[in-house]
């Protein structure tokens, strides 16, 4: 399996990445190299081995339902590009 340039363009668009033609071509080569690695792994006989969803074969540890975080809005918003009335401002998204 390999990615066409159109595939790479689509993935870039979904990720909201602006890429030049050269960058797209470079990304295509790099991604296809990764696909090569995947193809190699898929060739391994995994008959009788149940799939894992995580590299570590351990279970999720859970957190008690208790409030541990305090209000740090001021600190977080100090590094935001634009804030107003406590809101983070972003370019308009309404269609």
Interacting residues toward another protein by CB under 8 A:
10, 13-16, 53-56, 58-69, 71-73, 76-77, 82, 84-95
Q: Which is nearer to another protein, 20 or 54 (CB)?
A: 54
Name residue 5's beta-bridge partners. Answer: none
Kindly state the tokens that stand for 11: 């993935």
Q: Which is nearer to another protein, 22 or 84 (CB)?
A: 84
Contacts of 77 (CB under 8 A, 6+ apart): 83, 86, 88
Check: CB of residue 33 under 8 Å from CB of residue 8: no
Q: How far is the CB of 94 from another protein (least distance, A)?
A: 5
Q: Which is nearer to another protein, 30 or 76 (CB)?
A: 76
């Amino acid at each position: 399996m390999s990615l066409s340039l159109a595939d790479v363009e689509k993935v870039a668009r979904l990720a909201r990445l602006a890429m030049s033609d050269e960058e797209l071509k470079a990304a295509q080569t790099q991604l296809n190299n990764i696909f090569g690695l995947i193809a190699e792994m898929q060739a391994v006989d995994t008959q009788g081995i149940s799939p894992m969803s995580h590299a570590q074969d351990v279970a999720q540890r859970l957190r008690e339902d208790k409030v541990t975080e305090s209000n740090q809005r001021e600190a977080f918003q100090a590094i935001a590009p634009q804030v107003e009335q406590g809101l983070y401002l972003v370019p308009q998204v309404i269609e």
